[in-house]
């Protein structure tokens, strides 16, 4: 799988990661866990490493931590702090480390900017102590892009996680250019718009121009569209289905979309 660099540290990460929202919030039964274990085996076999979670995602942190440990995988764990108050934030971070079975987090993000001015100094202190390698911010709402831009310019965070897809391109206007300008890595959430993109192409075959160039699925095309933007570092599709995982990771090692093919894809989906 291709890799891209987190600019402020020089750390390389694979371009396709794995989200855990909803998909990893499961119980303890074999029926629930085994498909996820298979997803992880396929993910790491394909060269993936970045697993993104949050305390907001129910049992997802614990499930991811347990399955990664059981499979002895080498994960790049990214999680978040999602609470108000200094002590509550510290306690939640410690609990996330316990759940993920990791004494050091590769990336700790402030989820949806919740009480970010309180948490950011804590994240910096943890980085100085060697307990966190990178720190970042996230938000799902397009209306928060202005505040995220201000933080990128003033606070020197390592990463920003934001929504970006073929159908939701607001980040192209300012936030992605500002990330590139400030040397901030970009993680992309909601690459399929929670299934909306697949609904738009339901019943449509992958275009001939795409299959001729080695694209095998709409999922691969949608992820390749995002990765065609040079500011993007890693995309985080979430799945609990091994066959969907296989399509997703193909975007990290298969053909890439040049500007002309990007335009053709936009036209194909709109049409």
Kindly report the CATH number assigned to the domain that includes residue 14.
Answer: 3.20.20.100
pTM, to two decimals:
0.96
Tokens representing residue 217 in the block: 């699925």
Nearest residue to 6 (alpha-carbon basis) of 123, 179, 174: 179
Nearest residue to 8 (alpha-carbon basis) of 183, 233, 199, 163: 183
Tokens representing residue 176 in the block: 């992605």
Nearest residue to 131 (alpha-carbon basis) of 157, 94, 181: 94
Q: Tokens 């050091």 label which residue?
A: 104
pLDDT computed for residue 227 by the predictor: 98
The whole-angstrom separation of Cα 184 and Cα 173 is 16
Q: Are 89 and 117 in contact (CB under 8 A)?
A: no
- For 106-120, the three-class secondary structure string (H helix, E strand, C coil) is EEEEEHHHCCHHHHH
Phi, psi of 142 (to 5 degrees): -60, -30
pLDDT computed for residue 270 by the predictor: 84
Q: Outline where 129-258 has alpha helix (H).
A: 145-155, 175-182, 196-200, 208-211, 218-227, 242-253
The beta-strand segments (E) located in the chain are 3-6, 11-14, 18-19, 50-52, 76-81, 105-110, 132-138, 159-163, 185-189, 234-235
Q: What residue numbers bound the domain in which 26 lies? A: 3-270
pLDDT computed for residue 184 by the predictor: 98
What is residue 204's DSSP assignment? P
The whole-angstrom separation of Cα 131 and Cα 150 is 26
Q: How many structural domains does the chain have? A: 1
Strand order of the β-sheet with 76-81 is 18-19, 50-52, 76-81, 105-110, 132-138, 159-163, 185-189, 234-235
The whole-angstrom separation of Cα 54 and Cα 211 is 36
Each residue's pLDDT tens digit in the chain (271 positions)?
Answer: 999 999 999 999 999 999 999 999 999 999 999 999 999 999 999 999 999 999 999 999 999 999 999 999 999 999 999 999 999 999 999 999 999 999 999 999 999 999 999 999 999 999 999 999 999 999 999 999 999 999 999 999 999 999 999 999 999 999 999 999 999 999 999 999 999 999 999 999 999 999 999 999 999 999 999 999 999 999 999 999 999 999 999 999 999 999 999 999 999 998 6
């Amino acid at each position: 799988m291709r890799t891209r660099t987190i600019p402020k540290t020089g750390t390389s990460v694979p371009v396709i990661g794995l989200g855990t929202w909803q998909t990893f919030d499961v119980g303890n039964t074999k029926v629930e866990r085994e498909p996820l274990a298979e997803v992880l085996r396929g993910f790491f076999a394909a060269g993936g490493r970045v697993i993104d979670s949050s305390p907001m995602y129910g049992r997802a942190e614990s499930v991811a931590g347990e399955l990664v440990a059981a499979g002895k995988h080498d994960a790049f764990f990214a999680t978040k702090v999602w609470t108000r108050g200094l002590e509550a934030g510290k306690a939640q971070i410690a609990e996330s480390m316990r759940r993920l079975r990791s004494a050091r987090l590769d990336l700790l993000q402030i989820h949806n900017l919740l009480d970010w001015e309180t948490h950011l100094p804590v994240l910096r202190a943890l980085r100085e102590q060697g307990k966190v390698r990178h720190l970042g911010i996230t938000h799902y709402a397009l209306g928060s892009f202005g505040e995220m831009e201000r933080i990128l310019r003033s606070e020197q965070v390592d990463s920003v996680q934001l929504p970006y897809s073929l159908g939701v391109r607001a980040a192209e206007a300012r936030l992605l250019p500002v990330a590139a300008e400030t040397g901030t890595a970009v993680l992309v959430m909601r690459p399929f718009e929670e299934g909306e993109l697949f609904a738009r192409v339901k019943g449509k075959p992958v275009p001939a121009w795409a299959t001729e160039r080695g694209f095998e699925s709409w999922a691969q095309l949608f992820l390749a569209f995002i990765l065609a933007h040079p500011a993007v570092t890693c995309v985080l599709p979430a799945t609990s289905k091994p066959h969907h995982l296989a399509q997703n990771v193909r975007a990290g090692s298969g053909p890439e979309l040049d500007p002309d093919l990007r335009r053709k894809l936009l036209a194909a989906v709109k049409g």
